[in-house]
Amino acid sequence: MKNIITIDGPSGAGKGTITQLVAERLGWHILDSGALYRILGVAAKNQGLLLSDTIDTDVADQVTHLARHLDVEFQLNTTNGEVEPYLSGQNLAKEIRTDEAGQAASQVAAIPSVRDALLARQRDFYQQPGLVADGRDMGTIVFDDAPVKIFLTASAECRAERRYQQLINKGVGANMRALLKSIQARDERDRTRSVAPLVPAVDAFVVDSSSLDIQQVLSQVLVYIEKKLPGNHLD
């Protein structure tokens, strides 16, 4: 049995933070699969490919080709402690975090051949002593045999509110209504796509974080992991 914990759920549910905290506790590696789709979305846009909710076959083929040959690397930035993505040597840490990149990611992610093209690359992230994988289909497809699966969710309103606070704290202007609309559009696309739609794995532990803070979510998740993987020294 491989040491893999999958953490899936909609955007803004706190997966990234929980993934990082759990990985730190265990001393395991991280896969941020959303970053791969975001990089691909940015790369496709940089090449002038026209993305939309109904991408035509020709564009889908070109994005798939790009996905197969994506020259991407993740490197630790020792100054801020963040693992940052590089596309053909160019640091894309900031660029992939925009709302536009998120929308582009979910548009390319709806193309079945793109998901196929990224499958092996995601599985290659597995390394001893273990991996915490964050995404939408980590527990249902990519690591469907993972011994621990978490599905972290929260209401769209609550996720929009958190994002709003994050942006305001960063000194970036934000519009609550626009944020909510964008989150709902991404949810709709992720949940209704024909391939790997966003659903909890049947054997996932579901946590609704709407009325919980991050420490409360973390403690529920750690109790569950300890039950499934006893002796991993989580204290």
> Which residues lie near ligand C5P (CB under 6 A)?
11, 33-34, 37-38, 102, 105-106, 109, 135-138, 186, 190
Q: 178 is written with which tokens? A: 């626009």
Question: How far apart, in whole angstroms, are the C-alpha atoms of residue 219 and residue 221?
Answer: 5
Q: What amino acid occupies position 228?
A: K
CA dihedral sign, ordered 198, 200, 201, 202: negative
Looking at beta carbons only, is 104 or 232 nearer to ligand C5P? Answer: 104
What are the contacts of 71-80 at 24+ separation with CB within 8 A? 72/36, 72/39, 74/32, 74/35
Instruction: Report the residue number, 8 or 28, with the smaller CB distance to ligand C5P.
Output: 8
What does R_g of the chain's alpha carbons equal in angstroms? 17
- CA distances in angstroms from 159 to 13, 21, 71, 139, listed in the order given: 6, 19, 32, 22
106 vs 153 by CB, closer to ligand C5P: 106
Map tokens 């730190």 to a residue.
24
Nearer to ligand C5P, 102 or 130 (CB): 102
Q: How far is the CB of 190 from ligand C5P (least distance, A)?
A: 5
Least Cβ distance, residue 69 to ligand C5P (angstroms): 19
The Cα–Cα gap between 110 and 8 comes to 16
- If the CB atoms of residues 200 and 234 are measured against ligand C5P, the closer one turns out to be 200
Least distance between ligand C5P and beta carbon 230 (Å): 28
Tokens of 188: 């709709």
CB of 233 to ligand C5P, least distance (A): 28
Shortest distance, position 38 Cβ to ligand C5P, whole Å: 5
State which residue, 199 or 212, has the beta carbon closest to ligand C5P: 199
The DSSP symbol for 49 reads: -
Least distance from ligand C5P to the Cβ atom of residue 96, Å: 8
Residue showing the smallest CB distance to ligand C5P in the complex: 34
